[in-house]
Homo-oligomer: A and B are copies of this chain.
Amino acid sequence: MSPSHIHVPHHCRTVTEILSRVGDKWSVQVVVQLGNGPKRFNELRRIVEGISQRMLTLTLRGLERDGLVTRTVYPTIPPRVDYALTGLGCSLLKTVRELGVWAIENRDEILEARRRFDGANLPEIGQDERRSDAA
């Protein structure tokens, strides 16, 4: 097996593709929640809260498509649909958590770097150009 430090263009696309899913605004949050056990649609909607019905649907579809999540329909009335992580989803969750730990551990350093950068580069611009800052 090839070591991870050599650059393989073929793999590059694969990785980028997966990273897109991970970087997706909601996918990871949903996966994390499902890590605590299966959830129903509106249950997820409440927990993630901030996600719209549309986005939750699309996100779940995407995750299901990639084999990360299973969708179980109970043809009752009212209908009930459970979503749960697959083995693949679980393994992704584990890996992503590493990244989460990294993020939390380095949060302060990043925030400080940001403050420093903003202060040094745009000290006299009244307009706010921040894109990724949470309000």
Could you list which residues of chain A lie within 8 angstroms of chain B, going by C-beta atoms?
A: 1, 4-5, 7, 11-25, 28-29, 32-33, 35-36, 64-68, 88, 91-92, 95-107, 109-110, 112-114, 116-118, 132, 134
Q: Are A100 and B15 in contact (CB under 8 A)?
A: yes
Q: Are B29 and A104 in contact (CB under 8 A)?
A: no
Q: Are A134 and B19 in contact (CB under 8 A)?
A: no
Q: Contact partner of A14 among B14, B20, B104, B113, CB < 8 A? A: B104
For A117, the chain B residues whose CB sits under 8 A away are 64-65, 67
- Shortest Cβ distance from A17 into chain B, in angstroms? 6
Given A5-B97, A14-B104, A22-B23: 17 more A-B contacts, CB < 8 Å: A4-B100, A4-B101, A4-B104, A7-B32, A14-B103, A15-B104, A17-B103, A19-B22, A19-B28, A19-B103, A20-B25, A65-B114, A66-B110, A67-B112, A88-B109, A88-B110, A91-B106
